[in-house]
Chain A
């Protein structure tokens, strides 16, 4: 148990050290994020001004700007391209060397990603949060909601990890999965509410979407930060997140076993 802990800890450290090497790249994102936010502000300022309405689909203009600011923070911390690593590993053949390390494959990827994200937390998320509060009037959530937001954020991270991991597993059969990866990105982007909040979509669309995991990566997590939900509703969101995590995790383990056997040439 102790050894296992050290193994995963060393994955986190490896991820962190590698992120340090590419710190400049990380910093550039810190510059582009406020630009994104400004563009969203211009767009929605025009829309609210044109319609002359105070509230559109449950959002005031300041609330909507806060929505986008929190959305960017979620992108910083949750976004993961494990499917891209996996495709590379399968195609280039260095999956072999991954498999020679005495660690669970899913676990090692997960903790490595956490290590990578630690630096994002320090040099992207916190500075951007300060910028958003100071220049974009994003309000700081109450302590209870702030805490709940972080729990939901972590679950969103896990959820997104498994979606990306499952997409990555298709590489074991298809070798080239650029198309599927792009589809995953688009699905996660639109259906999680990154472009516009889901409440802007038609009713029927929202109903379909509620049966999918994507909106639990972003939309509901932001709404928790914006204190749009009662505590019971927050618990319900987290419950559904947990159910999706369990489903996708089990599916991930199952498919991974088959993928590994395929890779190792079982049954030939």
Chain B
């Protein structure tokens, strides 16, 4: 393999020092003289590698350390320990040289000129990143069409809705054709159609230019539709790193079975199964596949009832992730 990883993170640590105080006026006064400091470990030594051309979903509950990691990788946060190599550089050394090679959409932060229409920011960035005119025009046309911002981009950014702004923001981060793009909650504020189009844009760019994407999101649809690989982080530690398929294999112990019956059922009882919904001609059963096989359940059903239809499903991905977070 001559393919080198584009991101190489080794034992990355970050601790913050903040002060805490009890509520109230007296305590506010006390804290003027004596401060209690708390050391907060945001990252407890995480390691991972990302190969060029990957789309990696970076997920975790609030305060898990996602943003800290992303900020360190984009060079605006100094780590407390560990090694990071991105595109062969150490991000927080020589910031100006480094950030030229990356694109960033940071949550709801705006990187466009607030008082100017977005198209002005695009145009200024063309000069700023010295993007060749033809390549610029081609990329811009493609993205404008895909995200449908022809009109929107001619309005001052301050007058745009959150969703409209996010679309323009995405274009801003991709215009200079960076090799690596960090998207921190990029689909916030987008409607269903816009979300789809946005995902298309990412997939398309990934395929066409071999752009590597790292996406943090709370929208599991983003993950399912975009990412081949996910990294789950919680309490500053990586708790899962692998494909979405494997996570189902590894963490999924339950399946949902919907059964429709020809006749009214007499009552259902089987070890390892839980009835979620019970109607006259309908049963919704949750089965723990570690205790009971699907095979056994289906045979039991066929033996005892006149079955009209059976539907076997995985629980939604949200549920799986919730289980992992709560562990």
Assess whether A18 is interfacial by the CB under 8 Å rule. Answer: yes
- For B73-99 the 0/1 string (1 means CB < 8 A from A) is 011111010000000000010011111
Residue of A nearest to B76 (CB): A99
Assess whether B155 is interfacial by the CB under 8 Å rule. Answer: no
Assess whether B111 is interfacial by the CB under 8 Å rule. Answer: yes
Tell me the minimal C-beta distance from B123 to chain A in angstroms: 9
Tell me the minimal C-beta distance from B243 to chain A in angstroms: 30
A264: chain B residues within 8 A (beta carbon): 76-78, 92
**Cα distance, A51 to B149, chains bound together (Å):** 70
Name A100's contact: one of B15, B104, B113 (CB within 8 Å). Answer: B104
Assess whether B106 is interfacial by the CB under 8 Å rule. Answer: yes
The answer to whether B99 touches A102, judged by C-beta atoms less than 8 angstroms apart, is: yes
Name A17's contact: one of B120, B128, B130 (CB within 8 Å). Answer: B120
- For B105-133 the 0/1 string (1 means CB < 8 A from A) is 01001110101100010001101111000
Tell me the minimal C-beta distance from B41 to chain A in angstroms: 11
Interface size class of B (residues with CB under 8 A): 20 to 34
Residue of A nearest to B40 (CB): A268
Assess whether B274 is interfacial by the CB under 8 Å rule. Answer: no
**Cα distance, A13 to B110, chains bound together (Å):** 19
Q: Which of A90-98, A122-130, A165-173, A242-250 contacts B (4 or more CB under 8 A)?
A: A90-98
**Cα distance, A97 to B120, chains bound together (Å):** 17
The answer to whether B109 touches A97, judged by C-beta atoms less than 8 angstroms apart, is: yes
The answer to whether A100 touches B17, judged by C-beta atoms less than 8 angstroms apart, is: no
Name B78's contact: one of A18, A94, A261 (CB within 8 Å). Answer: A261
**Cα distance, A100 to B73, chains bound together (Å):** 11
Assess whether B142 is interfacial by the CB under 8 Å rule. Answer: no
Name B96's contact: one of A10, A94, A104 (CB within 8 Å). Answer: A104
The answer to whether A97 touches B111, judged by C-beta atoms less than 8 angstroms apart, is: yes
The answer to whether A18 touches B111, judged by C-beta atoms less than 8 angstroms apart, is: no
Residue of A nearest to B128 (CB): A10
**Cα distance, A10 to B121, chains bound together (Å):** 10
Assess whether A101 is interfacial by the CB under 8 Å rule. Answer: yes
B15: chain A residues within 8 A (beta carbon): 268
Q: Which residues between 179 and 225 of chain B lie within 8 Å of chain A, taking CB atoms?
A: none
Residue of B nearest to A99 (CB): B76
**Cα distance, A115 to B113, chains bound together (Å):** 14
A21: chain B residues within 8 A (beta carbon): 115-116, 156
Tell me the minimal C-beta distance from A104 to chain B in angstroms: 6
Name A14's contact: one of B71, B124, B130 (CB within 8 Å). Answer: B124
A103: chain B residues within 8 A (beta carbon): 96, 128
B106: chain A residues within 8 A (beta carbon): 96-97, 100
Assess whether B16 is interfacial by the CB under 8 Å rule. Answer: yes
The answer to whether A9 touches B74, judged by C-beta atoms less than 8 angstroms apart, is: no
Assess whether A185 is interfacial by the CB under 8 Å rule. Answer: no
Tell me the minimal C-beta distance from A94 to chain B in angstroms: 6
Residue of A nearest to B39 (CB): A268
Name A97's contact: one of B95, B96, B110 (CB within 8 Å). Answer: B110
Assess whether A53 is interfacial by the CB under 8 Å rule. Answer: no
The answer to whether A102 touches B96, judged by C-beta atoms less than 8 angstroms apart, is: yes
Contact flag A10-B127 (CB < 8 Å), given A94-B110, A100-B99, A102-B97: yes
Q: Which residues between 216 and 268 of chain A lie within 8 Å of chain B, taking CB atoms?
A: 261, 264-268
A204: chain B residues within 8 A (beta carbon): none
The answer to whether B127 touches A94, judged by C-beta atoms less than 8 angstroms apart, is: no
B80: chain A residues within 8 A (beta carbon): 268
B99: chain A residues within 8 A (beta carbon): 99-102
Q: Which residues between 1 and 29 of chain B lie within 8 Å of chain A, taking CB atoms?
A: 14-17
The answer to whether A6 touches B116, judged by C-beta atoms less than 8 angstroms apart, is: no
The answer to whether A100 touches B96, judged by C-beta atoms less than 8 angstroms apart, is: no
Residue of A nearest to B71 (CB): A96
**Cα distance, A267 to B14, chains bound together (Å):** 10
The answer to whether B78 touches A265, judged by C-beta atoms less than 8 angstroms apart, is: yes
Instruction: Name B residues whose Cβ lies closer than 8 Å to a Cβ of A.
Output: 14-17, 71, 74-78, 80, 92, 95-100, 104, 106, 109-111, 113, 115-116, 120, 124-125, 127-130, 156
Q: A14-B124, A265-B16, A267-B78 are in contact. List 9 more A-B contacts (CB 8 A).
A: A3-B130, A13-B124, A13-B127, A17-B116, A97-B109, A101-B99, A102-B128, A261-B78, A264-B76
